[in-house]
Structure 1
Amino acid sequence: MYDFSKRISKFHQDQVRLTNGQRADMRRRRETNLERIEKGLEETNKPSLAETINQGGYAQKTMTQPPENDEESRYDIDLGVVFEEDDAAGPRTTRNWVRDAIARKATNLKNEPETKKKCVRVVYADGYQCDFPVFRRKWSEVGWKYELSSGDEWVSSDPAAMNKWIETTVSAKSPETSGSYQLRRIIRLGKFFSKTHSSRLNRKFPGGLVATALFIEAYTSVDGRDDEAFRETLRALSNRSRYSPVYANGIQVSDDKDTDRIGRLIDQAEESVKELDKLDADDATDTDANKVWKSVFRHSFFEEETKEAANSASAPLEKKSALGAAGLAAPFLASQAAAALSDSDKHSRMEAAVSARKESGSGGKPWSK
């Protein structure tokens, strides 16, 4: 496969991975909403939180920037809020406590906080979205046990264990032994790929934990070649059954609604692999690679590289042209002007030039500069 790994690495760094500024903004919004929940619960005489649990793509370091020109895409921030079992009410009621607490203190929201099946959702006008899954906990002989408020039920859940599983899997499966791990980069590229084609087709694709688990399942390591690793991961994904459930840490994370979404991702993976296989040709070029990768990610980043390459290729011709016109004409005109000078004028100019070179310290050797 034509080696485009450096360019794909730059694409991941500049266009896919969150910037430090974006992560800092998310932390600020998360902390602001947590403060709203705590103060709102206090003002409404509801039980206080026992703890909070970072979860989702932010905690797992797999969040991505939105697809290009997708104004509807959101940055999702997940923060689990936990009550003691004895303090919690019914699942729906406890979620409503959290919703009311945020609504009491919040401003600058796109809509009122909303109680969803498994969380309370806050959507900002500028595209950020904060989800607050609501848990209760109880102590057991093996430690804390957590239950998630899901619809009208409390169901067993352990988000901290899921975060640890993803971190362990990423480090174990990647070819690197420390630092930045290839599997995490492939997950980010995969989630960006999924969101891009979801936006393009205006159809739902897998997101969140389901997408992360799918790319972990399909991941194919290629040391030093993120471009090839991503292609082979898409190939493995394209051969997957769309009807098979998706598991993460031994827990099924997909349900019936995900079947069609997974099918769309599989179909798009298959189509993209066919395009990427064109780069196996012996005569493939940078131009070919840009064209193919643009079809995969639908991003102008690969157009910019084409323009840079074109400018670089034309630069020597422009210099040659300049020498042919002004560059060659200048010495010719100078020689004509010199011929018109008298001997005394020539001598005076020569002395002035020698004096100037001595003062500059360069001597009469141009290569000494």
Structure 2
Amino acid sequence: MFDCSKDLLAFHKAEVALPKDERDNMRERRDANRKRLKDGLAKAKNAAPWDQASQGSYAMWTMVQLPDGDHDIDDGVYFLRDDLKGAQGADMTALAARQMVRDAIDDGSFAKKPEVRKNCVRIYYAEGYHVDIPVYRVTIGKDVFDKETYLYELASSDWKKSDARDVTRWFNDKNKERSPDFESTEGQMRRVVRYIKFYVKSRASWTGILSGFGITKLVTEKYWANADREDVALYETIKAIRDRLQFNLVVTHPIQGNGDITNGVDDARARKLKEKLDDALAALKPLFVHNCTRETALGCWDKVFATKFFCDRLESKKSEEAAALSASRVMTDGLLSAAA
């Protein structure tokens, strides 16, 4: 396979990974909402949160740059069960808890009012961003050894045992365990997740593809580490996922008891992902031809990611070499003139 590893790493840094200033802006919005929520709860004389924690791709550092800028942050809020009581002292319903959070955070500053959704409260921003706030209750008990236990439940259609932080810990552990470069970088497995997530978002016309979470789970299943070749690691992982989906479209949730990410044995979104991975592998076939040129190889990666980044690197290199050659000739001509 023609070596484009350095080019792929450059592409990841420039076009795929979320820039620091963008993460910083998202964190500022998250923190502003945390303060807004606490102030609103206090104003309504409701209990303060027991904890707040970022979740999802933001917490796992698997976010990618998107053309429409529609990034979302999941920022869970946790309340003690004893603090979530109705007027008569009974447990607050899951819907009432979400409504309480929606009312507290709606201070009138949003152009579009925050919305109660099935699994969260959603806050919309004019720039296309949104922040999802899942609401949890925490029941603290003790086991037979008198050690504290914690039961986390998500306010969904009812209270459902769940804690998205378990997913964050699961992924971070897998990335640390399996990435050969984890000690010196953020982890190759994390980058491979980003490449594939970026790929499936690279065309506006591509819809109905498996979620980023589903892709993340598949990468942890089929990741091919390669400390020396970033491009080989990505190619082999794509191929392994494609082969896996060829025979089994079911993608299970990584945390036991949470069911499947996909819907049934013939999930349309998983099938669509397989088809797009087929397309990527077909586009990369010329890289395995024995006389493949650098220009051809870079063109293949451009085709995969619907970009001009790779071939632009080639043109930039040619321009630099031409400029260096021109400068060398000028210097040589000057020396010859002086000698004459």
**Does structure 1 residue 309 correspond to structure 2 residue 317?**
yes
Deviations 1:37-64 (A, max 9, x none): 1111222233321111221111111111
Matches within 5 A, 1:113-262: 113-141=114-142, 143-150=149-156, 152-176=157-181, 178-180=183-185, 181-197=187-203, 199=204, 201-241=205-245, 243-250=249-256, 251-256=258-263, 259-262=267-270
Give SS of 1:86's match.
helix
Residues 209, 253 of structure 1: 8 Å contact kept: no
Matches within 5 A, 1:1-369: 1-66=1-66, 70-71=67-68, 73-88=69-84, 89-107=92-110, 109=111, 111-141=112-142, 143-150=149-156, 152-176=157-181, 178-180=183-185, 181-197=187-203, 199=204, 201-241=205-245, 243-250=249-256, 251-256=258-263, 259-312=267-320, 314-315=322-323, 318=326, 327=333, 331=337
TM-score (ref. length: structure 2): 0.86
Structure 1 stretch displaced more, 157-166 or 242-251? 242-251
CA distance in 2, matches of 1:323, 1:31: 58
TM-aligned CA deviation for residue 318 of structure 1: 4.9
TM-aligned CA deviation for residue 116 of structure 1: 1.4
Deviations 1:262-320 (A, max 9, x none): 22111111111122132012212221121100111112322421321332454466568
Long gaps (5+) in structure 1: 336-369
Residues 217, 251 of structure 2: 8 Å contact kept: no
TM-score (ref. length: structure 1): 0.80
AA aligned opposite 1:59: A
Residues 284, 301 of structure 2: 8 Å contact kept: yes
Give SS of 1:247's match.
coil
Deviations 1:202-240 (A, max 9, x none): 413223422211222221112221111111111011112
Q: Cα 1:100–1:300, aligned 2, differ >3 Å: closer, same or farther?
A: farther
Q: Cα 1:323–1:34, aligned 2, differ >3 Å: closer, same or farther?
A: closer
CA distance in 1, matches of 2:243, 2:134: 34
CA distance in 1, matches of 2:260, 2:183: 28
Give SS of 1:239's match.
helix
Residues 40, 105 of structure 1: 8 Å contact kept: no
Long gaps (5+) in structure 2: 85-91, 144-148
Q: Cα 1:84–1:208, aligned 2, differ >3 Å: closer, same or farther?
A: farther
Identical positions, percent = 30
Give SS of 2:21's match.
helix
CA distance in 1, matches of 2:327, 2:37: 65
TM-aligned CA deviation for residue 130 of structure 1: 0.8
Greater fraction helix: 1
Q: Which has the larger radius of gyration?
A: 1
Residues 193, 219 of structure 2: 8 Å contact kept: yes
AA aligned opposite 1:193: Y
Residues 192, 219 of structure 2: 8 Å contact kept: yes
Q: CA RMSD in A?
A: 2.6
CA distance in 1, matches of 2:202, 2:252: 21
Q: How many residues align?
A: 323
AA aligned opposite 2:107: R
CA distance in 1, matches of 2:63, 2:260: 18
CA distance in 2, matches of 1:4, 1:164: 32
CA distance in 1, matches of 2:250, 2:278: 17
Give SS of 1:25's match.
helix
AA aligned opposite 1:273: L
CA distance in 2, matches of 1:211, 1:184: 11
AA aligned opposite 2:70: R
Give SS of 1:196's match.
coil
Q: Cα 1:303–1:100, aligned 2, differ >3 Å: closer, same or farther?
A: farther
CA distance in 2, matches of 1:246, 1:196: 25
